[in-house]
Structure 1
Amino acid sequence: MKDLSGAISQHPRLGDAKDHLKTLIGFDTTSRNSNLPLIDHMAEFLEVLGGKITRLQDETGQKANLIARFGPPEISGIVLSGHTDVVPAGGTNWTTPPFDADERDGRIFGRGSCDMKAFAACVMAAMRDIDQIELSRPLYLCFSYDEEVGCLGAPQIARYLKELDVPPSFAVIGEPSDMKLVAGQKGKIAMRATFHGTSGHSSFAPAHVNAVAYAARAVSMIDARARRYETEGPFDPAFTVPHATCLVTMIDGGVATNVTPDRCSFTFELRSIDELAAQADLDELLTEIRETLEPEMKAGHPDAGIRFERIFAYPAMGDARGTDAFAELRPVMPEYSGKVSYGSEGGVFEVEGGIPSIIVGPGSIEQAHKADEFVEIDQLNRCLHFLDNLLDQVGIQK
């Protein structure tokens, strides 16, 4: 069993992992696109190795989750989970084309290289000699769609696993964690606010209900709530950002420089360290905005008002280190690094599937969602050794 805390030797399948990653980057799986070509590619590869393949399609038929089982189904198993979609490449700041993988300076560059096709590539490489191992319990390799737009595919996987005769007992989520153990992740609620006012020539502005102006006041109230979290907490120092966060992310309103805007909408999010308090906090904030602004708006016109709608939400991931399943795997787990503020599908597996989860994956979240996204090749190497250790723990060499 390899100690991953210091320098380690080059893994014999590192070249395979690099090749797999370069191929996966070449599939433009931006969330707006179909992920089926990548899913078909992975399914074909894993099926040849003996994996029992299950596809779970979305309602459009253009997206699919992939589940590949290796090992005996009558025993509780382990999930290795990743998502196949990536955020838009956007902009012109890429040194090389974002969907053409480029290896240089000990790194592999490309959209999704870090978040999170590196983990999928390592899993594919690690399974190459799976026929040489007699698994004492099954491995479920799960790859989802649309994680980046709200963890939309993972609930379907979690429910499928929960309904098995013997569901898995533990999940490893391969989000970028510098190959350190993460045992906790914030949940998120994403919202849209729409302000309806009245329009007219801007020279008569006092006679109108300016939707942008009222939306701007609401944005200030959301920002004030965020400042309260920063100064008043509650706090949990184990998180990378030790308090809840709340911010406006996109805004749209107005039609011309000389027209009072009758509509304005914006999106905002709440990431909470305490999921039980998150909805109560959000309800309190929405009530404060309504009670402060809506009476003024309706005084200007009875049809003016505010509408809030939830875009999506995903649950927080708890600390699974106290579970029996984690205790069995503890000998192969890397160094603990705390909890993270970014989202993952770990909370979905816990809440929807009843499967305790942790995060261990190659790459740094600092590189995700940026131009010239990259993963260190050393991180691929460490991930391969980690997966070898995991296979040693759940299998017997033939």
Structure 2
Amino acid sequence: MSSQAILAALIGFDTTSRESNLQLIEFVRDFLAEHQVPCELIFNDDRSKANLFATIGTDDRPGVVLSGHTDVVPVDGQPWTVPPFELTEKDGKLYGRGTADMKGYIACVLAAVPGLLALPLRMPVHIALSYDEEVGCLGVRSLLAELERRANKPALCIIGEPTELKPVLGHKGKLAMRCDVQGAACHSAYAPQGVNAIEYAAELIGELGRIGTRLRAGHLQDARFDPPFSTVQTGVISGGKALNIVPADCRFDFEIRTLPDQDAQGIAQQLQQYAQEQVVPKMQAVNARSGVRFSALSSYPGLATDEHSDAAKLIAECCGSSEFTTVAFGTEGGLFDAIGIPTVVCGPGSMDQGHKPDEFVSVEQLAACDRMLERLTLTLRLLHRRA
């Protein structure tokens, strides 16, 4: 099957993160079985979703992982002009949810399987597909825990997030947190007798802004990234019942996106310390039961792969370019790297199309990814001949 034909099948599965990915995983498992490639499934607790891990070649030595996530973001409320879960080709573009992020890459990987099987390889090639990347890189963690226990842990990883096939060695990490402010309600005519949770939440959000300003200091910047500094932002806030009631509750969610060498937890602790030292005492002076509580929602580490690593050299050879770059969005790459698997991000399409209505990958980008994987196959065969 061609990569485009495989992509059409993959797009037909609604693998929005809130849904199961098992139909897609079963399709891939059956496809690999037809080529006599064994694979294993690593399920979540209720067995509604699964990671897939397959190996082409001998597994008695470290290999190359071709990794991608199977889930996609929702289409709810987006003005699509084509069916989102049906591949549509028009003007050299392939439309559908996940075409760019990142089923296009998965399709190319599967299309490369016959070529990888044709001759012995010096290094095995692993196919790793995960679930729930879009909601915090959740599924891949159990897969990585399994890999970490193995004697022959993979030597390097290529994650096919959309980079227009430009090799990416770095991205920021992310910590998402929730802050619950518990105040004390009263009639708004007697506002000083209550603890206004919204106003104290606003004070904390204001401090987040000041923390963000401090993170822009020149000595903290890294010019390889855009923006070249770590960022914080509040994305969701809710609270209050009626205008004439002092609000007893307010909740806001915020995120911290850090350069790879900066500590997101340390940044969050700055806000927590401010809350305990500056905000909570004022609240409890009015009502002792009021307070502030923080909880983590999700996190993943940044990525900063050495440009002289074997992973970087291999992807440079396959892409025909040693001009490495960085991206602002996060991937599962930092998690691979954290267990000692050097990782490069390189895949077809652009994140400019990801998460948007009428998402697409160009026919040429898909074909270029096919060629990149063909060069990878050739490189691994040449390694075999040199041995």
| CA spacing shift, 1:365–1:92, aligned 2, 3 Å | closer
Structure 1 residue aligned with 2:182:
196
1:296 correspondence with 2:256 = no
Runs of 5+ unmatched residues, structure 2:
none
Q: Give the secondary structure class of the aligned counterpart of 2:165.
A: coil
Q: Write the letter of the residue equivalent to 1:344.
A: T
Structure 2 residue aligned with 1:360:
346
Q: Give the secondary structure class of the aligned counterpart of 2:33.
A: helix
Structure 1 residue aligned with 2:330:
343
Task: Give the counterpart of 1:207 among 163, 177, 193.
Answer: 193
Structure 2 residue aligned with 1:141:
127
Distance in 1 (CA, whole Å) between partners of 2:142 and 2:113 is 24
Distance in 2 (CA, whole Å) between partners of 1:317 and 1:88 is 26
Per-residue CA shift, 1:132-174, capped at 9, x if unaligned?
2222221110000011111111122222222222111000010
- Tell me how far 1:203 sits from its aligned partner: 2.7
Distance in 2 (CA, whole Å) between partners of 1:305 and 1:106 is 57
Structure 2 residue aligned with 1:383:
369
Per-residue CA shift, 1:3-30, capped at 9, x if unaligned?
xxxxxxxxxx7xx212211221121111
Which deviates more from structure 2 when the two are superposed, residues 264-273 or residues 315-324?
A: 315-324
| CA spacing shift, 1:373–1:206, aligned 2, 3 Å | same
1:169 correspondence with 2:148 = no
- Tell me how far 1:259 sits from its aligned partner: 2.2
The residue correspondences of 1:148-297 to structure 2 (distance < 5 A) are: 148-230=134-216, 232=218, 234-297=220-283
Runs of 4+ in structure 1 deviating by more than 4 angstroms, as ranges, are none
- Tell me how far 1:252 sits from its aligned partner: 1.4
Distance in 1 (CA, whole Å) between partners of 2:76 and 2:368 is 30
Q: Give the secondary structure class of the aligned counterpart of 1:349.
A: helix
Task: Give the counterpart of 1:125 among 111, 123, 132.
Answer: 111
| CA spacing shift, 1:205–1:97, aligned 2, 3 Å | farther
Per-residue CA shift, 1:31-90, capped at 9, x if unaligned?
111111111111111121121111000112111000111001112100000000111112
The residue correspondences of 1:71-86 to structure 2 (distance < 5 A) are: 71-86=57-72
| CA spacing shift, 1:384–1:328, aligned 2, 3 Å | closer
State, as a whole percentage, how many aligned pairs show the same letter: 38
Q: Give the secondary structure class of the aligned counterpart of 1:111.
A: coil
Q: Write the letter of the residue equivalent to 1:376.
A: S
Q: Give the secondary structure class of the aligned counterpart of 1:37.
A: helix
Asked if the contact 1:103/1:109 (under 8 Å) is kept, the reply is: yes
Distance in 1 (CA, whole Å) between partners of 2:211 and 2:82 is 41
Q: Write the letter of the residue equivalent to 2:329.
A: Y
- Tell me how far 1:329 sits from its aligned partner: 5.3
Task: Give the counterpart of 2:34 among 32, 36, 48.
Answer: 48
1:101 correspondence with 2:87 = yes
TM-score (ref. length: structure 2): 0.94
The residue correspondences of 1:32-47 to structure 2 (distance < 5 A) are: 32-47=18-33
Distance in 2 (CA, whole Å) between partners of 1:256 and 1:145 is 40
Task: Give the counterpart of 1:305 among 291, 294, 298.
Answer: 291
Q: Write the letter of the residue equivalent to 2:335.
A: V
Runs of 5+ unmatched residues, structure 1:
1-12
Q: Write the letter of the residue equivalent to 1:306.
A: V
Structure 1 residue aligned with 2:359:
373
- Tell me how far 1:327 sits from its aligned partner: 3.6
Per-residue CA shift, 1:208-241, capped at 9, x if unaligned?
1111111112112212222333354611111132
- Tell me how far 1:328 sits from its aligned partner: 5.1
Distance in 2 (CA, whole Å) between partners of 1:200 and 1:238 is 51
1:323 correspondence with 2:300 = no
Q: Give the secondary structure class of the aligned counterpart of 1:271.
A: strand
Q: Give the secondary structure class of the aligned counterpart of 1:260.
A: coil
TM-score (ref. length: structure 1): 0.91
Q: Give the secondary structure class of the aligned counterpart of 1:311.
A: strand
Q: Give the secondary structure class of the aligned counterpart of 1:269.
A: strand
Aligned length: 383
Structure 2 residue aligned with 1:7:
none
Asked if the contact 1:181/1:334 (under 8 Å) is kept, the reply is: no
| Pairwise CA RMSD | 1.9
